[in-house]
Structure 1
């Protein structure tokens, strides 16, 4: 009968769809089917079958898309949300299963496709650290150890101002391409540094360890280093191997330690074939260190206890350009005559705050810059600058005991054509020294805080006694005479009302002459 055929057809639909028809659905379909022809029934069956298949395809596509999204999400999750591998595998399966249940109400077997395990990432940077491009900065971040960083692209690491006490052999394994490390102001000790801590850093150029607790220079430092700073530590020795293999080192700073000529090997600096800048200030040296490299250009030995400069200390440093010996215990007779007179490149010497009683003789021929502030100098010997070529340009004699008798008419001979700045302030001069009017290139003159009472017209500016003298001077000479730009004469005993109108006639701007205040006596 038609009823039987419709029942069979519906059973076939049920088999195709995978759904179990409920009794009510079956009855309503039978009633409709009884009124239809066999052709209509076949068309209806075909339509329903296609719809069921489309639904199945749609469901499978949707589930596949969602699984892909989940995989991507897990792949790019941060370290804080990552879990153990087993947990990561199970979680997407449960989510897929739940979605499947929600969509078609059927229990599905979890997919057997393996979910990729995300790559193992380094722990996140500690709080207080920041990163930009190829730099990580953890300044004052309260760190007690070097953070475990894994980034081959990192070139700069700043860990200043923490509480780090040690550097293990593995500390920099994750950052082998570092070029600059700053570990200043920590609590790092020499025993706390592994013997191979820096060995992996084949590109390291700058290493700063200022303000720690080191007693010796770390071993096995990379030969690529160009700059090392270990200021303000407790270094008390440099043996002959302490600086080995550092053939590219240009700058070495070891200020504020406990170094002296007894605990620094005479050949300690020998391996430094490129060294040009050496700072050894605030140590315990009594004589200048031996064995200085031939390449050295600048030497800083301020705030030591140096009493002597021997004639051999600079024998091999023919390129030296700057020597700073301020705040020591030098007397002029303890400076050997041949200590530096033959140096051809030495342009600047600072002997401030020593025990000098007169300007030292036998100064280098090439000297341009001489600082003698804060000594007990009473005299500038005649011709003391006479051998210098091209001539001294900057002479600072502030805070000494110079008197009128201590400056000869030829004291500045050899510097008349070269001096640019002359500081004679805070001395005991009662008059403007002779010879200043002949200093053709002088721009800055300090005579303040002396006992000067007057400024004769001819002492600072040249005067002409007749019209013939004026015509004899060329225009070029007149221009040279007007180069003085600043004159300080304050805190003397000058009565400004009695000054000659020609006293400062060579100075272009009168406001460049400082005359006030004056002392009253």
Structure 2
């Protein structure tokens, strides 16, 4: 069978050779030469000798893969056959003897000139003019650690990847179906779209950040321009003020020279006139539009360098704060724009004349809690502070009020010092002073001049507590509205104390030594604006008579009051609203049925706690506006139904079937009632005792004392 196959194949090869020869004769000579040249250019360099076995030359050119059926070269066709001989693994012998018409013989087979065949992998042979030329395929160098030669191949390949290694998904994963491939493509497309969206999003964010940054830069630029404009305005205003001050100084100087009778020479008068004209021109420029530039462009003067602040000081806007900074003297601060200086809690002992020369525009100065003495204050220390409105010097060692205080002063506090005198010139020129506090000093009617407060035309708030006064100071200004004289030694109130204080509204006289018989009948009864009097912790035994007609608020806590006289509030209009009688010695005998007459329609709060009452006083039910009642810490044992809430029995509402009486309770405004710390048995209280109170939670009954 094998012999027949070989014979059949040999006949087929011969037929093909004859066909190719016929076709070759038709090809022009030039094309044949081209084909011959191209087909044999790799092996033409070898010089073969007849009758000698040729050496097989290894070419550096990578050979084509064997078993190529047809190769088209230019317009000619050359058939290439694979040799079926020698593929079994045994090495074949080749005959290089020239045959007929350039044919070659290989293992008994005749090969046509230019025929190409591969007797075994990686070797390619060529028949050229009866000579067999074979080339071996050159393999590329590999960088992998492990290689192998696949079956049917001539060159090694990398074999590092294990069969189950997931690093080679394309070669080692099982084949995917069409649906899986479509799903994979869809996922890749979605991932690509997501990445594109993320890129677009990042681009938008970058663009927005750039826009925001440009807007912020624009705002900063606008703010800086606005700040520059404001600085220009303030600078021009400052120049205007300085020009005005210089003009005032010049006028004062001229007036002084006129008074002395000095006459300037003609030439000096002309020079002065020209200078005045120039000043008027500059002032005209300053008084014009603040953005208008003068016709001349003066060389700008660099601002003076501000000395560094001392350790412990800080600056914020227009305020310099040196609180508890351990300063022993006023620091040399320079800044015309500063309006507030805080030097509280240091050990400053003196104020020289030049202390505030660098900060002439101060409006608030706090020198509290230092060791400043009166001799340590220069006579001109405060004169430069023409805009000063608030001066605080509490807790120092002053014995006199500082001299030459600015006339613009509105608030002056010298509490807790050693003041022992106020003469008629101490408060001179302080016509704008509104608040004056001199508590905790050594002042009395003996060392305070009756004319001391006369210059204070605007004073409305005066505190003189914790001093040594035995009577109300004389000469109070007519503008006074609030007077505080607590913790003194006042024993009486004369008829002339408040004769000229028609605007007074509040008087505080607690912790003194007043008795009701030492209060003159006409001391304050005719006051029309006096609404609040505090007489707590004095020596009163009765509620004072002849109280002001306009009184709304009366505080009598901590006295020894035993009685509320009848009709004592009857003359008041519109009526007393707040009456505080806590911590006294009131008993039921000291309260008459008409003790609260005149306050029934106006009284809102009544404090009778910490007294000696044994039952609820009469008159409570008549107080239509009462909202807060304190009766705690007394000796009350019972609360009758009609004593706090007034009930009215309606006879026409009797039911014939049960003969029960229906009670109608009047409306009451009482919201808070304190009855704790008495001797009340809460189980015995009538259900109607507190029926007028809006909420029972407002009634405090516990705890009660044990019998």
| TM bin (shorter chain) | 0.7 to 0.9
Give the deviation of 1:440 after TM superposition.
0.9
| Per-residue deviation, residues 106-126 of structure 1 (Å, max 9, x unmatched) | xxxxxxxxxx99864232111
What is aligned with 2:470? 286
SS at 2:507's partner residue? strand
Q: Distance in 2 between matches of 1:230 and 1:307?
A: 25
Mapped contact 1:380–1:406 kept (Cα < 8 A): yes
What is aligned with 1:190? 374
Q: Distance in 2 between matches of 1:395 and 1:228?
A: 34
What is aligned with 1:520? 706
Q: Distance in 1 between matches of 2:412 and 2:531?
A: 25
Q: Distance in 2 between matches of 1:244 and 1:469?
A: 77
| Per-residue deviation, residues 266-314 of structure 1 (Å, max 9, x unmatched) | 1100000000000000000000000000010000000000001000010
**Length, aligned pairs only:** 399
| Per-residue deviation, residues 439-470 of structure 1 (Å, max 9, x unmatched) | 11111111111001111111111111325699
Please list, as runs of the form range in 1=range in 2, the aligned pairs for 1:396-407 lying within 5 A after superposition.
396-407=580-591
Give the deviation of 1:487 after TM superposition.
0.7
Mapped contact 1:186–1:211 kept (Cα < 8 A): yes
What is aligned with 1:498? 684
SS at 1:422's partner residue? strand
What is aligned with 1:509? 695
What is aligned with 2:438? 254
| Per-residue deviation, residues 420-455 of structure 1 (Å, max 9, x unmatched) | 110000000001111111111111111111001111
Mapped contact 1:251–1:278 kept (Cα < 8 A): yes
What is aligned with 2:575? 391
Q: Distance in 1 between matches of 2:681 and 2:668?
A: 24
| Per-residue deviation, residues 124-165 of structure 1 (Å, max 9, x unmatched) | 111221111111111111111111110111111111111111
- Counterparts in 2 of 1:469 and 1:233: CA distance versus 1, 3 Å: farther
Give the deviation of 1:480 after TM superposition.
8.1
Question: Which structure is higher in RCO with an 8 Å CA cutoff and minimum separation 6?
Answer: 1
Mapped contact 2:486–2:512 kept (Cα < 8 A): yes
- Counterparts in 2 of 1:406 and 1:120: CA distance versus 1, 3 Å: same
What is aligned with 2:337? 153
Please list, as runs of the form range in 1=range in 2, the aligned pairs for 1:39-438 lying within 5 A after superposition.
120-438=304-622
Q: Distance in 2 between matches of 1:438 and 1:315?
A: 36
Q: Distance in 2 between matches of 1:469 and 1:492?
A: 37
- Counterparts in 2 of 1:234 and 1:468: CA distance versus 1, 3 Å: farther
Q: Distance in 1 between matches of 2:504 and 2:651?
A: 50
**Unmatched tracts of structure 2, length 5 or more:** 1-299, 655-663
Q: Distance in 2 between matches of 1:496 and 1:129?
A: 64
SS at 1:405's partner residue? helix
One of 603, 617, 625 as aligned partner of 1:441? 625
One of 663, 671, 675 as aligned partner of 1:485? 671
SS at 1:481's partner residue? coil
| Per-residue deviation, residues 42-91 of structure 1 (Å, max 9, x unmatched) | xxxxxxxxxxxxxxxxxxxxxxxxxxxxxxxxxxxxxxxxxxxxxxxxxx
What is aligned with 1:54? none
Q: Distance in 2 between matches of 1:219 and 1:138?
A: 25
Please list, as runs of the form range in 1=range in 2, the aligned pairs for 1:32-43 lying within 5 A after superposition.
none
Where in structure 1 do 4 or more consecutive aligned residues deviate above 4 Å? 116-120, 467-470
What is aligned with 2:147? none
Indicate the RMSD between aligned Cα atoms, in angstroms: 1.7
- Counterparts in 2 of 1:434 and 1:353: CA distance versus 1, 3 Å: same
| Per-residue deviation, residues 178-209 of structure 1 (Å, max 9, x unmatched) | 11111111111111111111110111111111
Mapped contact 1:425–1:448 kept (Cα < 8 A): yes
Mapped contact 1:308–1:330 kept (Cα < 8 A): yes
Give the deviation of 1:517 after TM superposition.
0.7
Q: TM-score, normalised by structure 1?
A: 0.75
What is aligned with 1:59? none
Q: Distance in 2 between matches of 1:484 and 1:469?
A: 27
Q: Distance in 2 between matches of 1:499 and 1:291?
A: 58
SS at 1:459's partner residue? helix
Mapped contact 2:648–2:665 kept (Cα < 8 A): no
What is aligned with 1:61? none
Mapped contact 1:461–1:481 kept (Cα < 8 A): no
SS at 1:437's partner residue? helix
Mapped contact 2:646–2:666 kept (Cα < 8 A): no
SS at 2:649's partner residue? coil
Q: Distance in 1 between matches of 2:601 and 2:665?
A: 14
Q: Distance in 1 between matches of 2:324 and 2:698?
A: 47
Mapped contact 2:665–2:692 kept (Cα < 8 A): no
Q: TM-score, normalised by structure 2?
A: 0.55
Mapped contact 1:441–1:480 kept (Cα < 8 A): no
- Counterparts in 2 of 1:428 and 1:489: CA distance versus 1, 3 Å: same
Is the radius of gyration larger for structure 1 or structure 2?
Answer: 2
Mapped contact 2:583–2:610 kept (Cα < 8 A): yes
Q: Distance in 1 between matches of 2:356 and 2:531?
A: 43
Q: Distance in 2 between matches of 1:339 and 1:357?
A: 19
SS at 1:343's partner residue? coil
Q: Distance in 1 between matches of 2:371 and 2:317?
A: 28
Give the deviation of 1:402 after TM superposition.
0.2
Q: Distance in 1 between matches of 2:494 and 2:566?
A: 24
SS at 1:487's partner residue? strand
Mapped contact 1:167–1:194 kept (Cα < 8 A): yes
Q: Distance in 1 between matches of 2:375 and 2:588?
A: 60
**Unmatched tracts of structure 1, length 5 or more:** 1-115, 471-477
Q: Distance in 2 between matches of 1:479 and 1:366?
A: 33
Q: Distance in 2 between matches of 1:174 and 1:451?
A: 69
Mapped contact 1:256–1:283 kept (Cα < 8 A): yes
- Counterparts in 2 of 1:153 and 1:480: CA distance versus 1, 3 Å: farther
Q: Distance in 2 between matches of 1:239 and 1:468?
A: 78
